[in-house]
Structure 1
Amino acid sequence: MSAAAAEASRSTRTPRPRADALRNRERIVSAAREMFVEHGPQVPLDEIARRAGVGNATLYRHFPERSDLVREVVVSVMSRTTEQAGSAAASEADPFAALRRFVHAAADERIGALCPMLSGAFDADHPDLHAGRGELEAAVQGLVERAQQAGRMRSDVAVGDLMVALSQLTRPLPGTACPNMDRFVHRHLQLFVDGLEAPARSELPGSAATLGDLRSEP
């Protein structure tokens, strides 16, 4: 390729965001995640900008619509939770201990607070959401399968059961702020996780919930 052609090729590429722009975006998403948990997804964007330490114009430059920011927070939490699943698998020799560690780590990521946001007015079919959900589901599926193959987790449950319980037990009660539930969440999750361990102490009614069941239309 000639020098002129190479220069022309470089000029048509999408410019990479500056480091300070990336840092601002990360601060905005982090602040939004905290405030969505504390106050819900309708918290004023000006308050999010103030907590992030950026100007309103900076926030709107990165996220022109509230739905853009909500989607980014959801993707961020899913990504962080997927990383927690990988970390748990790598850190624990006992596959059931890895599952237990992941469940508590996911609670600390406030994954249950996503549920009200997922019903919000944004594009639920956005490629980033699909990709993030697929990676998270695959990571959790791997934890469950390893624990069951090792005979450490009861065989009559599926990953859907785990995801339902995790989302429900980490979601604040109506009219209750999420931080006020912290003292109960890990206690109740531990009770749930104890019930997953093999050998099973009872026969469960119904059938195991799969990921497909969670996605099916009502």
Structure 2
Amino acid sequence: MAGSAVDQRVARPRADALRNRERIVVAAREAFVEYGPDVPLDDIARRAGIGNATLYRHFADRRELIRTVTLSVLIRTIDEAEAALAEEATAFQALRRFVHTAADERIGATCSLLSGWVDVRDPEFVEARVHLEQAMEALIEAAQRSGELRPDVAVGDVIVAVTQLARPLPGTGCLGIDRFVHRHLELLLDGLSTPRRSELPGTAATFEDLRAYGEDCR
């Protein structure tokens, strides 16, 4: 019994530390999306409900926090893509679930923090990016094989739409946009489903197209 009590006393601070770290990451993600990467770290600590010292025990500086937040969003989005495809009854329903979850994760707004703050050649980021691309392409291909997703779109089309819709309106800095986002995501999904109702201009966008576009805009 005594040993068990000691084990619990030892384990509790570790569990508390993990919870605090997760609270910081969630609060930082929301703050970065609302106010940008320069938001005061003290504001993030207050939002997380912890003291400044606790934040700095977990993250030495802003760059480390941004790296962790961005990597966390990528990993959570990968997990959701794989879970949706494995658990939903149809491939298109899996795509629907993933699209809404990716919007909730603020993947587009958060990943824009990469620029100037995170080394995109970081092996962990390279691995996560490749894994996410594979998971998303599996969703798209499954939905097209089932005949539910129109054949003239590609994964890049979905990424562009989700990232644009999930960002707060310019000048608002407001996460209340959610009540509009999910409504308009359903409109997007209606447009992605078969039978297609229009001819799309241009060609389907791939991840390679998006990367090339990003390089051109630098």
TM-score by length of 1: 0.84
Does the alignment pair 1:55 with 2:77?
no
- Counterpart CA distance in 2 for 1:133 and 1:45 is 27
Which runs of 5 or more residues in structure 2 are unaligned? 1-12
Shift of 1:34: 2.5
Q: Which residue of 2 aligns with 1:104?
A: 100
Shift of 1:156: 0.9
- Counterpart CA distance in 1 for 2:71 and 2:63 is 12
Q: Which residue of 2 aligns with 1:197?
A: 193
Does the alignment pair 1:177 with 2:173?
yes
- Counterpart CA distance in 1 for 2:36 and 2:124 is 22
Q: Which residue of 2 aligns with 1:154?
A: 150
Equivalent positions of 1:25-104 (< 5 A) are 25-104=21-100
Shift of 1:163: 0.6
Shift of 1:202: 1.4
Contact 1:71 1:129 in 2 (8 A): no
Shift of 1:48: 1.5
| Greater C-alpha radius of gyration | 1
Does the alignment pair 1:207 with 2:216?
no
Shift of 1:114: 1.4
Which runs of 5 or more residues in structure 1 are unaligned? 1-16
Q: Deviations over 1:6-26 (max 9, x none)?
A: xxxxxxxxxxx9554433322
Shift of 1:76: 0.7
- Counterpart CA distance in 1 for 2:88 and 2:120 is 34
CA RMSD of aligned residues (A): 1.9
- Counterpart CA distance in 2 for 1:115 and 1:29 is 14
- Counterpart CA distance in 1 for 2:175 and 2:21 is 24
Question: What is the aligned-residue identity percentage?
Answer: 64
- Counterpart CA distance in 1 for 2:114 and 2:104 is 19
Q: Deviations over 1:166-205 (max 9, x none)?
A: 1111112211123131121111111111111122111111
How many matched pairs?
A: 202
Contact 1:171 1:178 in 2 (8 A): no
Q: Deviations over 1:45-102 (max 9, x none)?
A: 1122233343323322332221111111111111111122122212212111111111
Q: Which residue of 1 aligns with 2:7?
A: none
- Counterpart CA distance in 1 for 2:145 and 2:116 is 38
